[in-house]
């Protein structure tokens, strides 16, 4: 039986136990029961030096939510039960002292809807191994990042580049997975995929590959002006190979400002990492004092600009290695290993530091450290005859003279569209992140809310714009206080009443259990009352939706898993004493057995949207995978005696709806809106048209893991029970259209906005269409400059996230909220 090369580190028990370095011991205690994962060390941090904490984790781990995620599945062509549940990988990571862990299953987000995705000891990052070819890792996104198809005649890496832009619009982290299997070979060098720009990191050390080739690829890119850090990845699939192949082996350590998921993601994007063979053993750091003042102000991942090649005499590198006695410490400068190390040391102490005088011989250079020693091979495809195997490595420190390095790809990106779309800045600033905006218009006043990520925290902010829609009229205010974990805001307004809702874990991320919070302004947004928590559940409550029954009674919907499976709750505030579960009816929950990790079935109801008619009827719509034969599991396990089949990959998500016909009425049983067993239908938006009918728009794609574009579909109903056949909206088979939001214009015509890949400059743009009596109008492009994503609309006012003021194609986090009016 042939096994996927990505998976097994060795076959038939050929892997031996790790050989410890002579005299080496774990440099940090992995057994601190009071603070699980506390294998960290707070840096002394003189004034002007980086301050933070080293946190160990993994960046690439699988479970049975990948169709080939465990040994029984791979060995039988996905016919047999799985043996690697989410909880198994999480508990193992806890046991070895990791501080953070993502589960990066192949092209799915289903693992995060599993009731077992929880930990009291780990910071769990959302994660996914995205794209068909080449593979990439995304951490910190809010849902799956879909890999579409390139239009005819496009460069091969177009879809990969768009994946990076899509990821960064969420302030998420994007890394190249095992570049020796997608971007580079020693014989041919880099292929077209290596031309992507904006990569946050590259796997320098994937245990199922060859770290030597992966390092060669990274050095090739660094020498061409690309700037990114390095990560290590276990790429763990099989519990049978523990401890030799398991989460945390190798380990990515991040130098985070604090122990939060946002701080970890920020550190990963900054390249502030060092890599080790496991949580114990050799550990290396590199720092630089470029101005010779005795303070080492730069560390691995940092990019420093100096005025001249002629540095002060006391300029130096500082290299520190722990638990490396007897190993070789190699310090490299550009161009890297091809030129040999600039310094070599053999530690004689368990904690040893060296300083190296620093001189510049080029306008753009970099410095990094490796630790090598005899012993077990560093990766499955590594050369076993190497006398010294990789045992530790740092990300580089990058140094440039006068200006930062500019990537020199083999294939350039198309020039960006420079047409002015007359959108005005509403929230954010250059160099920072503001995203996931919402908008509400009442009369001459426009209300905008958004997420702002600052100081390694996420906050919900609000801005009230004056009667002319002038974004400079009112200051941005923080509504979520100091919790640092507020996300996904929504806003509605009627007269002097303004309501804002969001999800918030109130700073508590172990376990990750956000709740739904609501604030009310009685004076048109001039001030807000105290935040009120909705619901009493003990699970995760996420992705709220918001509408108004009237000014004093907002309707709030959200997804919550307090009962195991995610269900949609709805509450009319001031009317309902508690939220109502509107999606549970008709679901079949299967608890499963220990004999098959894939046997539990917990269909998920997610991403609700709301609308209210003038006669106070309420409709809620959401995505739901209850009709999938293996809900929550990519691939398909055939019944006994039947051949293996592709099943659904991704899940057969359907759009569903429920209505409340009036006050005192019960919610209707859920009904199917999309009714398409051959597609994944997700992320609905809903509005009420001038006739009082409901109009739902959603994104859809074929049941294909990758290479299939998202497009939009719509349906209409007068009662919320019987829905029209789905019709396409602005269909372009060569484009990706995603994340629709729907609202009525002042004349009652329903308008949809979304972001789309059909632009000639490849960048994501916002488009719109209106539903007239003759049907949906042709798409109209709303935005032009840069990438423009995650739009929202109300009364013809469109807000969206944009990177248009980013100064660089790499290492520029700029995402801001812009406002433009249509019609």
Domain boundaries, the chain: 53-401, 743-823
| The CATH fold of domain 53-401 | TIM Barrel (3.20.20)
The helices-and-strands tally (H runs, E runs) of the chain is 5, 51
Cβ neighbours of 112 (radius 10 Å): 26
Between vectors from CA 306 to CA 254 and to CA 301, what angle results, nearest 5°? 10
CA dihedral angle for residue 25, residue 28, residue 31, residue 35, rounded to 10 degrees? 180
Give the span between the Cα atoms of 24 and 785, in whole angstroms.
55
φ and ψ at 14, to 5 degrees?
-70, -15
Give the span between the Cα atoms of 684 and 44, in whole angstroms.
50
- Cβ atoms of 53 and 35 within 8 Å: the answer is no
Give the span between the Cα atoms of 386 and 206, in whole angstroms.
17
- Cβ atoms of 783 and 802 within 8 Å: the answer is yes
CA dihedral angle for residue 107, residue 111, residue 112, residue 114, rounded to 10 degrees? 150
Output the six-digit token pair for 714: 């719509």
Strand order in the sheet with 433-442: 433-442, 445-454, 457-465, 477-478
Q: What is the pLDDT of residue 471?
A: 52
Q: What is the pLDDT of residue 36?
A: 36
Q: Is the peptide bond before 174 cis (omega within 30 degrees of 0)?
A: no
Give the span between the Cα atoms of 719 and 700, in whole angstroms.
23
Give the span between the Cα atoms of 714 and 733, in whole angstroms.
16
Q: What is the pLDDT of residue 529?
A: 98
Give the span between the Cα atoms of 420 and 397, in whole angstroms.
38
- Cβ atoms of 440 and 450 within 8 Å: the answer is no
Q: How many CA atoms lie within 13 A of 247 on its CB side?
A: 28
φ and ψ at 254, to 5 degrees?
-115, 140
Q: What is the pLDDT of residue 467?
A: 67
- Helix ranges, 232-331 (H): 261-270
- Cβ atoms of 390 and 375 within 8 Å: the answer is no
Q: Which of 203, 227, 234, 198 is nearest to 216 (CA)?
A: 203
Output the six-digit token pair for 782: 């709303």
Residue tagged 């609700």 (tokens): 608
- Cβ atoms of 432 and 443 within 8 Å: the answer is no
307 burial level (CB within 10 Å; 0-12, 13-18, 19+): exposed
φ and ψ at 338, to 5 degrees?
-65, -25
| CA terminus-to-terminus distance, the chain | 62
Give the span between the Cα atoms of 263 and 170, in whole angstroms.
15
Q: Give the contacts of 449 (CB within 8 A, at least 6 positions apart).
A: 437, 438, 439, 460, 461, 462, 463, 479, 489, 490, 491, 500, 502
Residues composing the chain: 823
pTM of this structure: 0.94
Q: What is the mean pLDDT of each run of 10 residues along the chain (823 residues)?
A: 28 23 29 37 63 97 93 87 97 98 96 98 97 94 95 95 98 97 94 98 97 98 98 96 94 98 98 96 97 97 97 98 98 98 98 97 97 95 95 98 98 97 97 98 96 97 79 82 97 97 96 97 96 92 97 96 97 96 97 95 98 97 95 79 63 96 93 94 98 98 90 98 97 97 98 97 98 96 98 98 98 98 90
φ and ψ at 268, to 5 degrees?
-65, -45
Give the span between the Cα atoms of 264 and 220, in whole angstroms.
27
Q: Is the peptide bond before 2 cis (omega within 30 degrees of 0)?
A: no
Give the span between the Cα atoms of 210 and 179, in whole angstroms.
9
The DSSP element (H or E) to which 284 belongs, if any, is: strand 283-289
Q: Which of 210, 248, 214 is nearest to 61 (CA)?
A: 248
Output the six-digit token pair for 575: 């009317």
Give the span between the Cα atoms of 211 and 208, in whole angstroms.
9
Q: Which of 483, 498, 485 is nearest to 438 (CA)?
A: 498
- Helix ranges, 304-436 (H): none
Give the span between the Cα atoms of 604 and 677, in whole angstroms.
16
Q: Which of 477, 453, 451 is nearest to 463 (CA)?
A: 477
- Cβ atoms of 729 and 714 within 8 Å: the answer is yes
Q: Give the contacts of 76 (CB within 8 A, at least 6 positions apart).
A: none
Give the span between the Cα atoms of 575 and 328, in whole angstroms.
70
Which DSSP string do the residues of 630-676 spell out, in sequence order?
TTT-SB--PPTTSPP---BSS---EEEEEEE-STTPPBPPPEESS--
**What is residue 786's three-state secondary structure?**
coil
Give the span between the Cα atoms of 115 and 80, in whole angstroms.
22
Q: Which of 583, 629, 634, 587 is nearest to 605 (CA)?
A: 583
Give the span between the Cα atoms of 18 and 16, in whole angstroms.
6
């Amino acid at each position: 039986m042939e096994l996927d090369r990505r998976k097994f580190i060795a076959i038939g028990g050929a892997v031996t136990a790790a050989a410890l370095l002579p005299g080496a011991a774990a440099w940090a205690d992995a057994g601190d029961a009071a603070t699980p994962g506390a294998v960290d060390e707070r840096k002394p941090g003189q004034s002007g030096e980086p301050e933070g904490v080293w946190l160990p984790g993994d960046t690439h781990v699988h479970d049975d939510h990948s169709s080939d995620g465990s040994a029984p599945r791979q060995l039988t062509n996905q016919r047999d039960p799985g043996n690697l549940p989410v909880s198994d990988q999480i508990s193992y990571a806890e046991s070895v002292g990791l501080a953070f862990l993502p589960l990066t299953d192949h092209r799915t987000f289903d693992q995060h809807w599993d009731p077992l995705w929880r930990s009291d000891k780990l910071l769990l990052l959302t994660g996914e191994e995205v794209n068909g070819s080449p593979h990439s890792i995304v951490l910190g996104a809010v849902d799956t990042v879909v890999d579409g198809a390139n239009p005819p005649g496009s460069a091969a890496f177009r879809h990969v580049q768009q994946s990076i832009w899509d990821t960064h619009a969420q302030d998420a982290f994007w890394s190249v997975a095992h570049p020796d299997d997608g971007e580079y070979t020693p014989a041919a060098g880099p292929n077209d995929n290596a031309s992507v720009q904006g990569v946050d990191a590259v796997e320098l050390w994937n245990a199922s590959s060859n770290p030597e080739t992966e390092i060669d690829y990274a050095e090739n890119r660094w020498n061409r002006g690309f700037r990114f850090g390095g990560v290590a990845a276990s790429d763990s699939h099989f519990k049978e190979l523990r401890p030799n192949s398991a989460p945390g082996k190798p380990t990515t350590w991040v130098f985070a400002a604090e122990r939060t998921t946002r701080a970890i993601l920020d550190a990963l994007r900054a390249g502030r990492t060092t890599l080790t063979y496991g949580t114990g053993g050799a550990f290396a750091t590199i720092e630089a004092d470029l101005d010779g003042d005795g303070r080492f102000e730069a560390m691995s991942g940092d990019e420093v600009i100096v005025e001249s090649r002629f540095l002060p005499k006391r300029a130096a590198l500082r290299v520190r290695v722990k638990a490396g006695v007897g190993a070789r410490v190699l310090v490299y400068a550009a161009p890297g290993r091809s030129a040999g190390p600039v310094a070599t040391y053999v530690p004689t102490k368990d904690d040893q530091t060296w300083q190296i005088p620093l001189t510049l011989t080029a306008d753009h250079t970099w410095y990094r450290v490796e630790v090598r020693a005899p012993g077990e091979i560093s990766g499955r495809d590594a050369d076993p005859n190497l006398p010294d195997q990789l045992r530790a490595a740092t990300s580089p420190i990058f140094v440039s003279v006068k200006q930062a390095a500019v990537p020199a790809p083999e294939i350039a990106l198309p020039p960006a569209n420079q047409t002015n779309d007359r959108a005005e800045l509403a929230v954010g600033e250059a160099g920072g992140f503001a995203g996931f905006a919402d908008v509400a218009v009442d009369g001459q006043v426009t209300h905008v809310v958004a997420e702002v990520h600052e100081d390694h925290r996420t906050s919900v902010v609000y801005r009230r714009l004056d009667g002319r829609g002038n974004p400079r009229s009112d200051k941005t205010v923080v509504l979520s206080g100091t919790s640092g974990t507020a996300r996904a805001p929504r806003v509605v307004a009627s007269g002097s009443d303004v309501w804002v809702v969001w999800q918030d874990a109130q700073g508590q991320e172990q376990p990750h259990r956000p709740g739904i919070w609501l604030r009310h302004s009685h004076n048109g947004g001039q001030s807000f009352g105290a935040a009120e928590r909705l619901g009493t559940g003990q699970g995760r409550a996420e992705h709220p939706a918001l509408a108004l029954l009237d000014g004093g009674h907002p309707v709030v919907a959200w997804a919550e898993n307090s009962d195991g499976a995610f269900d949609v709750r709805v509450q009319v505030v001031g009317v309902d004493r508690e939220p109502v579960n509107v999606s549970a009816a008709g679901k079949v929950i299967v608890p499963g057995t220990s004999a098959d990790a894939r046997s539990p079935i917990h269909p998920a109801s997610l991403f609700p949207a709301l609308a209210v008619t003038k006669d106070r009827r309420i409709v809620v719509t959401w995505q739901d995978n209850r009709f999938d034969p293996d809900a929550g599991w990519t691939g398909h396990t055939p019944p006994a005696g039947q051949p293996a089949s592709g099943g659904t990959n991704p899940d057969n998500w359907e759009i569903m709806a429920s209505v409340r016909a009036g006050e005192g009425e019960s919610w209707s049983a859920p009904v199917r809106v999309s009714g398409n067993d051959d597609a994944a239908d997700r992320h609905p938006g809903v509005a009420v048209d001038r006739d009082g009918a409901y109009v739902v728009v959603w994104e859809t794609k074929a049941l294909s893991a990758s290479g299939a574009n998202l497009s939009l579909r719509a349906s209409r109903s007068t009662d919320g029970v019987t829905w029209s056949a789905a019709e396409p909206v602005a269909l372009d088979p060569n484009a990706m259209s995603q994340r629709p939001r729907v609202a009525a214009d002042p004349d009652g015509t329903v308008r949809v906005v979304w972001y789309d890949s059909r632009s000639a400059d490849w960048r994501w743009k916002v488009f719109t269409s209106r539903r007239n009596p003759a049907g949906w109008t042709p798409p109209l492009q709303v935005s032009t400059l840069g990438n423009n994503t995650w739009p929202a609309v109300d009364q013809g006012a469109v807000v969206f996230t944009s990177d248009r003021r980013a100064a660089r194609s790499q290492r520029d986090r700029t995402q801001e909220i812009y406002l433009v009016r249509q019609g």
